[in-house]
Structure 1
Amino acid sequence: MNKQICNGNKPTREDPSIDLSQYPPDKIRNFSIIAHVDHGKSTLADRLLELTGTIRKGHGQPQYLDKLQVERERGITVKAQTATMFHQHNFLGTDTKFLLNLIDTPGHVDFNYEVSRSLAACQGVLLVVDAAQGVQAQTVANFYLAFEANLTIIPVINKIDQPTADPDRVKEQLKSIFDLDPNEALLTSAKTGQGVICHVAVVDGAMRKGEKISSAATGQSYEVLDVGIMHPELTQTGVLLTGQVGYVVSGMRSTKEARVGDTLYHTRSTVKPLPGKVFLMLMMDMSDDPILGNETFMQYFTGFKPVKHMVFAGLYPADGSDFEALSHAIERLTCNDASVSVTKESSTALGLGFRCGFLGLLHMDVFHQRLEQEHGAHVISTVPTVPYIFEYSDGSKVHIQNPAMLPSNPKQRVTACWEPTVIATIIIPSEYVGSIITLCSERRGEQLEYSFIDRFSEVFVLC
């Protein structure tokens, strides 16, 4: 197996104490933790792992699921991470065992694609809000992602131990902005309280080690070499049953075989794609997130909205002879971050390189850092640009992502130019409204709406 494209997590030996057959679909809960940046998602995930006995209290580093070096250095979550937990719940005098699949998601807008991918595999979410800061921009954005996915939303007011905490005000915001019942909000303090490895959700049937599976996207067949759960490290179980979430090692030797939203099915079955449908990607660690089943004909689900890249930059090897090494490094990293677009390009000064599209400047910066830290690639990056549309005197229009693509023919005169715009919802304390409106006006912003959240905060929408 090509270890160059391994995600670095080695499955442990099979745990005989884990019997997944005792968890039918009605005893399985898949949920995500969503929130604004630094509202306590990863710390809350730590407490859940401890309360369910998945990890020992005080074992390992804080923010246990933030495994990337860039996440530890920046103190933010970049990649959505999963963990399987087993919980025995005393309900009406009966001890019921549940299998809980937790997904800890990023909070920054540049990694919003990670959140949307995660929610596709979930039944509900914990919407975490800082008791002092209240509802923020990504709180709103993530709420609507969960709302559009028709997920159960449980509000959690976190950091109530802070001296500036005001949970009553946050409850008012949850009611006025999201129409959530404030009485249902949970008050917490999370602080005190091999080859390509595919992450899968089994929709129907069972997947066992040694079985033959096929890819609906590529038509290739594979043998299940290993299968298990994230507990929270990769733990072999030998089988995944209907409704369960885990990983599968199938011998894929190239990241190109791991398609976003691919469907895996037993080789003996027949799968026919439906016209106009996109395969649904259900999990989030690699860019290979399949569904598995064994019915004669399987249902395909509507997929995600296409990624809209906002920033483009050229990446070139610091040493021209390292182009192939950089190519392999980018291929491996984009298997882990499917939201990056990559096309080859050349420059007179820098030679062969790649034109990459990112979701924002932070996304671009983190990608560069991961290339260096995880793959030892030293790159030269060009100044980031945004895409423009130019119209010429002959009526033709062209999308430009790189200034070098502008035609030098004097006969082609540019008659019009369009640049990207956004509709932004800004939530701010009342005392800063005047300054923020002035700042937006200086940046050519036009106010569209204006409203009040409560007596402390106001919200307005501008373009």
Structure 2
Amino acid sequence: MNNIRNFCIIAHIDHGKSTLADRLLEHTQTVTEREAKNQLLDDMDLERERGITIKSHAIQMNYIHEGSTYTINLIDTPGHVDFSYEVSRAIAACEGALLVVDAAQGIQAQTISNLYLALEHDLEIIPVLNKVDLPSANPEEVKDQIIDLIGCEDEDIIMASAKTGIGISDILEAVVKRIPAPEGDPDAPLQALIFDSVFNPYRGIEAFFKVVNGSMKSGSAVKFMNTGSKYDADEIGVLRLRQEPQKEIGTGNVGYIISGIKEAKEVKVGDTITTVERPADKPIAGFENVKPMVFAGIYPVDTDEFEELRASLEKLQLNDASLTFEPESSAALGFGFRCGFLGMLHMEIIQERLEREFNMTVITTVPNVSYHSFMKKDPERCVIVNNPTEFPDPTKMDHIEEPYIKAQIITKADYVGAVMNLAIEKRGILTNQVYLTSERVELSFDMPLAEIVFDFYDRLKSISRGYASFDYHPTGYRESDMVKVDVMLNGEPVDALSALIHRSNAFDIGKKICEKLKELIPRQQFMIAIQAAIGAKIIARETLSALRKDVTAKCYGGDISRKRKLLEKQKAGKKRMRQVGNVEIPQQAFLAVLKLND
């Protein structure tokens, strides 16, 4: 146990985590030259295409230091805020973390929020200054930022370049010397924390765990404490580049278990595994529960594929525990699911993974949040409104409450004015402003959750050039003046495009939605009226003119009455088309609300 080290890498997006992981694997000869490739641990096509880590990956290395062989478990983590739940799970399975900072860009927002997560779990932090070989690097200034942030000494910071291999042996030495060995009782009953899982179509569900107390033996009967289900540990092993089966996994080590589980809901990330013979008294306290930020409906394009979509979402949830979903139905789109996501990028990635990994073509509706409405007849009873279609009749409603959050934004001092303007535009109220250093400011706001769902995070990133980090926690519900804005095409309401909006913004947003839909809906042979309405009152209208087919092209002369006859005939046909015409709405139109400011 004294020769085991578990650590993760935390950094802002694009500070060189994946490249550093590649160099560590090469240096410890975990991968041969033949197997080596860039972004080795990012095995998803999407990760390689976008150059981001979406999923945390665990891999074991052996490192010889002063004649002793050490087993080092590395858990690579994502850097984007939308995947911070992955980071919290990786941190729960580690005793130390490499804090990687880009020498050219300095400390950025996500580094700080991930660092606080690590400090809450009492992890040993090893600061690494990466990309020191770049001409634009400014190591002395960034060193001072790191010292201010974590209070370390100058000599504790390791200078490295993952690209050229500078400082890699120093990092491995620091991992062995500075990160403590895992603590635990090898003789106690087995307690293993599940920090990840993945679905294998041939072998069922593979769960990845860290043994906290006791040891796990191959073939023994195990029990998942959260669900109470019992299984046989058919195969256990360690995670090298390929899985390597073992007879036993001891205290403090990280491994995988395959026990032929086919049902996705039987494995929960954060659950504790124990043995049936000698069960543990209580489960390990897992990591914090996921807080979805954005809710949206996901519907199959073909309504017959509802059950397939359910199975696909369950398998995705195994791989990504931050996804939550429940069934719902819509008049326009049929049966589907209301899903909770951590952010807009997370929503985009889930949609793309459904299409790539499960061949599911889906429609995603406008994201929104849950409201509480109270009726005049029974003011005590609260009706939860998750979807604009469930919005009660305003004449029978006493009042409606919307969820509020306390938002904390850390940004550079240069961007304070722009960030404040954005927050005030989103109905935020500034409650506190603290200068952490002369350069960095923490702003606190009380804001409605609905306002951050649409394009708040994207706009915050663009006005602050990526320097602002954003975190929030719910503070309860407050009374608000919300109205339901319906979108109608040729007089027919499309429920999937409806939105609940604060009355002060309704006219402005209604007009923008109509203009955006006019751009996105393809022109038809007949005219289309696009209207936004609150109840029976039309608040905005755009008209999509008809495509004109030149029916008089074949007339090459003769009397005007011949042309008029053809035009009258076309007019009558168009009128009939308009009465029965169904408007085809492209997928982008359902998410038009998100891009109103583009």
TM-score when scaled to structure 1?
0.83
> d(CA) in 2 for partners of 1:317 and 1:323?
6
CA gap 1:181/1:322 in 2 versus in 1, 3 angstroms:
same
Q: For 1:102-113, list aligned pairs within 5 A.
A: 102-113=74-85
Of residues 99-108 and 177-186 in structure 1, the stretch that sits farther from structure 2 once superposed is: 177-186
Counterparts in 2 of 1:365 and 1:357: CA distance versus 1, 3 Å: same
Q: Counterpart amino acid of 2:348?
A: D
Query: Does 2:442 correspond to 1:460?
Result: yes
| Residue of structure 1 aligned with 2:111, choices 139, 155, 161 | 139
How many residue pairs end up in the alignment? Answer: 405
Change (3 A) 1:169 1:262: same
1:177 maps to which of 127, 130, 149: 149
Q: How far apart, in 1, do the equivalents of 2:7 and 2:235 lie?
A: 25
Please name the residue that 1:124 is paired with. 96
Relative to structure 1, is the Cα distance of residues 376 and 427 closer, same or farther in structure 2, using a 3 angstrom cutoff? same
* 2:407 aligned partner, one-letter code: I
Letter in 2 for 1:67: D
Which residue of 2 is the match for residue 408 of structure 1? 393
2:58 aligns to what SS in structure 1? strand
2:215 paired with 1:206: yes
Counterpart of 2:526? Answer: none
Q: Please tell me whether the aligned partners of residues 212 and 252 of structure 2 are also in contact (alpha carbons under 8 angstroms).
A: yes
Q: Which residue of the partner structure matches residue 72 of structure 1?
A: 48
Separation in structure 2 between the aligned mates of residue 423 and residue 409 of structure 1, nearest angstrom: 30
Cα distance in 1, alignment partners of residues 225 and 423 from structure 2: 48
Structure 1 residues 204 and 426: alpha-carbon distance in aligned structure 2, compared to 1, 3 A threshold: closer
- How far the C-alpha of 1:342 sits from its partner, in A, is 1.0
RMSD: 2.0
Q: What is the Cα deviation at residue 148 of structure 1?
A: 0.5
Amino acid at match of 1:459: V
More displaced, 394-403 or 263-272? 394-403
Question: How many Å separate the matches in 1 of 2:41 and 2:213?
Answer: 28
Q: Give SS of 1:203's match.
A: strand
Q: What is the distance in 2 between the residues matched to 1:161 and 1:384?
A: 43
- Note if 1:309 corresponds to 2:309: no
- Equivalent residue of 1:73, what SS? helix
Q: 1:388 corresponds to which residue?
A: 371
Partner Cα distance (1:244, 1:267) in 2:
21
Q: CA deviation at 1:351?
A: 1.1
- Are residues 1:324 and 2:307 paired? yes
Q: Aligned in 2, Cα 1:220/1:431: closer, same or farther, shift over 3 Å?
A: closer
Distance 1:452 1:228, change over 3 A: closer
The alpha-carbon distance between structure 1 residues 440 and 259, as it changes in their structure 2 partners (threshold 3 A), is closer
Q: State the shift of 1:386 in Å.
A: 2.7
Which structure's residues are more often helix, by fraction? 2
Secondary structure at 1:413 match in 2: strand
Structure 1 residue aligned with 2:521: none
Say whether residues 1:341 and 2:295 are aligned partners. no
Spell out, residue by residue over 1:152-195, the C-alpha distance to the aligned partner (whole angstroms, 9 max, x if none): 01111111111111111111112223323333111111111121
Q: Determine if the alignment matches structure 1 residue 164 to structure 2 residue 148.
A: no
- Distance in structure 1 (CA, Å) of the matches to 2:370 and 2:134: 43
Give CA deviations for 1:9-44 in whole Å, capped at 9, x if unaligned: xxxxxxxxxxxxxxxx11100000011111111111
Alignment of 1:256 with 2:259, yes or no, is no
Secondary structure in structure 1 of the residue aligned to 2:47: helix
Matched-pair contact (CA < 8 Å) for 1:386–1:420: no
Q: Which residue of 2 aligns with 1:423?
A: 407
Label 1:171 to 1:396 Cα distance change in 2 as closer, same or farther (>3 A): farther
Residue 234, structure 1, aligned to residue 216, structure 2: no
Look up the SS of the partner of 2:132 in the other structure: coil
For structure 1, which runs of at least 5 residues remain unmatched after alignment?
1-24, 274-299
Aligned to 1:368: 351
Distance 1:216 1:460 in 2: 41
Equivalence for 2:543: none
Task: Please give the per-residue CA displacement for 1:99-153, whole angstroms capped at 9, x wherever unaligned.
Answer: 0000000111111111111111100000111111111111110110011001101
Asked whether the 8 Å contact 1:32–1:105 carries over to 2, the reply is yes
How far does residue 267 in structure 1 lie from its aligned partner after superposition? 1.9
Residue type at the aligned position of 1:460: E
Q: Percent identity?
A: 44
Shift of 1:303: 2.4
Residues 216-236 of structure 1 deviation map (CA, whole Å, 9 limit, x = unaligned): 233332222211111122222
| Structure of greater Rg | 2
What TM-score, normalized to structure 2? Answer: 0.65
1:272-331 deviations in Å (ceiling 9; x for gaps):
44xxxxxxxxxxxxxxxxxxxxxxxxxx33222221111001111110111111111111
Identify the residue that residue 266 of structure 1 maps to in structure 2: 275
Confirm whether residue 221 of structure 1 aligns to residue 218 of structure 2: no
Question: C-alpha offsets along residues 82-111 of structure 1, whole Å, 9 cap, x if unaligned?
Answer: 100000012xxxx11100000000111111
Choose the corresponding residue for 2:5, options 14, 24, 29: 29
**1 CA distance for matches of 2:290 and 2:217?**
33
Shift in Å at residue 432 of structure 1? 4.3
Q: 1:303 to 1:208 in 2, by over 3 A?
A: closer
Unaligned runs of 5+ in 2: 166-202, 446-598
Aligned mates of 2:359, 2:321 — CA distance in 1: 20
Q: Deviations over 1:361-402 (max 9, x none)?
A: 111111111111111111111111133344555254444332
Shift of 1:426: 2.6
| Preserved contact between residue 11 and residue 111 of structure 2 (Cα < 8 Å) | yes
Write the letter of the residue equivalent to 2:405: T
Aligned to 2:562: none
In structure 2, relative to structure 1, the CA distance for the partners of 1:373 and 1:434 (3 Å cut) is: same
Partner of 2:435: 451
Is this contact kept in 2: 1:445–1:462, CA < 8 A? no
Distance 1:398 1:162 in 2: 58
Structure 2 CA distance, aligned partners of 1:459 and 1:183?
A: 28
CA shift, 1:81, in A, is 0.4
Query: Which letter maps to 1:184?
Result: D
Letter in 1 for 2:310: S
**Counterpart contact for 2:271–2:286, Cα < 8 Å:** no
